[in-house]
Amino acid sequence: MPRRHHRLAGAALCGAVLLTGCANQLPQRSELEERVERKLLDHSLQIDAGSSPVLELPQRRVRIQEQKTFEVTPFEVTRRYQRYTPYQPWRELYEIPLGALAVVAGIGANVLNVPLLGHLPESATRDWISYGFAGLNPLMNVESNGRAQQNLAALDEQQGEPRLEYSSLPWAERPVQVQVGEQTYELTTSRNGVLRLNLLDSPFAEQDLGHIARLQLRAEDPQGQARAEVTLRLSHSLRGRLREAHELIYADLEGDDVTHWVHRVKRLSELGLEEEASELEQSLIELTRNDPELQQELVQALLEDAGRVASDTPRGD
């Protein structure tokens, strides 16, 4: 029984040598790869809410930037592959006779090369003989790039000099939390990272801001790695004007006459809210679009009582 076991082991070993040990080795192949590793060192958000932390007007443009600092390390990676032609016994059926022919042809080429003073190429004088002896070897196939296989033989990685890389990008189309009193609203920045605050526009218009002294802006990335906050104070003057301006802007227009319309536009301008006065003026022009006589009366009243020249007025034919 032990003798039979040893015979089986010996047969298996011979089979392994026959299949793997007799592979025809080819020249090594190398691959060069360059890669870069970037390590985040610092991540921060910066909110630019203007030079003054006190709001005197209901509008404010707030710019938010995302800043990152990376450590960038370059690497050169060289991979060397051991190439070989795997052994397939059935190929010996044609490699052995072709090998014999190649040896005879190689010897003949070398003999002929003597009177030709060595002008025959090495592919005839040397390669034919090498091919022939490989073909005659029953335990080895001749070299074949088409059937070649490869294994990773060595890996060499060279690290370059690390450097710092900085980036500053707009906080584009990202959410910003705005806390006003006990209410918190979520607004979205533009693609340029700008948040346009308007306390007379939605969602702030629905809230009484007369008793609100400050509002807080907060931006935070989803992973919680960077966060920034800024506080803006509402001046006492602005809080009083906001309450009056809200009534002037949002009270029903169709229930008033031209005199009251002009008064509302004029009063907004007197409160220093010129942007809101212009928007209300445009709304009134649009409201009277289908009544040319009423529109002309409005334009005349704006000019005489408020000193305003209405724009976007349709011209006569």
Q: What is the pLDDT of residues 169-196, one digit of tens each?
A: 999 999 999 999 888 999 999 999 999 9
Q: Summarize the confidence of residues 208-233 as an average pLDDT.
A: 89
End-to-end CA distance of the chain: 119
Q: Check residue 18 and give its pLDDT.
A: 45
For 276, phi then psi, to 5°, come to -70, -35
Nearest to 245 by CA among 197, 292, 205: 205
- pLDDT at position 225, please? 81
Q: What is the pLDDT of residue 117?
A: 66
> How high is the pLDDT of residue 144?
75
C-alpha distances out from residue 22 to 16, 26, 81, Å: 9, 12, 18
The set of residues, in sequence order, having a beta carbon less than 8 Å from that of 246 and lying 6+ positions away, is 200, 205
- For the chain, give every domain's residue range: 22-40+78-154, 251-317
Would you give the distance in Å from CA 227 to the centre of its chain?
20
Task: Check: pTM over 0.85? Answer yes or no.
Answer: no
